[in-house]
Amino acid sequence: MSELASSQSPGSAFPTRRLMDGLFVLALAIGAGFALQRFGAYMDLYEKSFLVLAVPLFGWLGWQWRGLRNLQVAATLAALAAIALYQHDLARAEQVFLLKYFLSSQTAIMWMSALVFFATGAYWLGLIARAPFAERTGSAATWIACGAALTGMLVRWYESYLIGTDVGHIPISNLYEVFVLFVMITALLYLRYEQRYGTRRLGAFVMLVESAAVGFLLWYAFSRGAHEIQPLIPALQSYWMKIHVPANFIGYGAFSLAAMIGVAWLLAERGILASRLPSLELMDDVMYRAIAIGFAFFTVATILGALWAAEAWGTYWQWDPKETWALIVWLNYAAWLHIRLTKGLRGAMLAWWAVVGLLVTSFAFLGVNMFLSGLHSYGSL
């Protein structure tokens, strides 16, 4: 039996799970109804549609993965507690103990950052020392970090409206916010595979890219003041942003996960940590699944981006540097999947390709903003 398998029998768990699934969807519906009643005046038709569609979507995700359901519930309760403590006054973030040290958006994101570093160390200790307790600690810390990230984003969304109704927006509009999104999505993708394959031995590698992202996030926050909430620039005042950006970052997160599994594969193939890591076949399968999922979402994101461009600039494609590099990323992973599926190739070449693919993806995500200019220059450093 898998090290992560549940000890509860299916028969005894089924009625309880059905009840919890039903209560979860009911809570989602009540929450969506309350949001529509309370904040509907500030929403357009598209935002109301997204909110209504979120109920079956997140309900289905919660049914499929109880860990994600529990995360959503915990983060929602924490965010609601923060909202109640604010009492419509943003200044209370520095006056109320729970807000100042736990529940304000910036504090929650700092907890996320600390927990990511802690989880990275715990996973590596577990891998090197063959210590299951350290691995379980790393897994738990990663879950809590995801909860802190989701709480921080939800509370930041509310805080933006406390600044002004004309300032309020979903927190995925700048590099600071999307790095929080990237950390959370990548960690959740890893945790899903951790559960699916019943091993925590790959967490040490995946959390390295998470720690690097958090390192950039902290530098960006403290050196550039990027944590401050700013009004949306006109180019981002679009409903397309709310679906284009999350789809993009599921792709980025999956590609990053695949690259770090590729690093583990290459080390194990050379006999480094081979006795501590899962089999090459298992890692190859995780790498393939991650790239397949990432490619699907990145394709959707690219199509959505083209539709957004047509609305904003009157044309679907302008060979802007960001668009060009997005196409390069898409072609890179399309070729990877084509070779694996049609030629049946496995092994070192595809592992190296996945690793190099992360460099290409990183330049498309961050390098373009740093070194090139174009229609997407609003995301520059």
- Our CA dihedral for 226, 232, 233, 234, rounded to 10 degrees, sits at 170
Instruction: State the Cα–Cα distance between residues 66 and 43, nearest whole angstrom.
Output: 30
Cβ atoms of residues 22 and 59 within 8 Å: no
**Would the pLDDT of 1 be above 50?**
no
- What is the DSSP code string of 230-249? -PPPGGG-STTHHHHHHHHH
Residue extents of the structural domains in the chain: 13-64
In whole angstroms, how large is the CA radius of gyration of the chain?
21
Distances, alpha carbon 106 to alpha carbons 143, 220, 246, in Å: 18, 13, 20
Residue 305 Ramachandran class (φ > 0 left, ψ -120 to 50 alpha, else beta): alpha
Length of the chain: 381
Mean pLDDT of 12-20: 73
Instruction: State the Cα–Cα distance between residues 111 and 257, nearest whole angstrom.
Output: 22
Could you read off the pLDDT of 70-127 as tens digits, one per residue? Answer: 999 999 999 999 999 999 999 999 999 999 999 999 999 999 999 999 999 999 999 9
First to last CA, the chain: 49
- Please report, as a single letter, which amino acid is at residue 154: L
How high is the pLDDT of residue 242? 86
Instruction: State the Cα–Cα distance between residues 82 and 93, nearest whole angstrom.
Output: 9
Within 8 A by CB and 6+ apart from 307, the residues are 240, 316
Could you read off the pLDDT of 35-74 as tens digits, one per residue? Answer: 888 778 877 777 788 888 888 998 999 888 999 999 999 9
- Please report, as a single letter, which amino acid is at residue 34: F
How high is the pLDDT of residue 285? 96
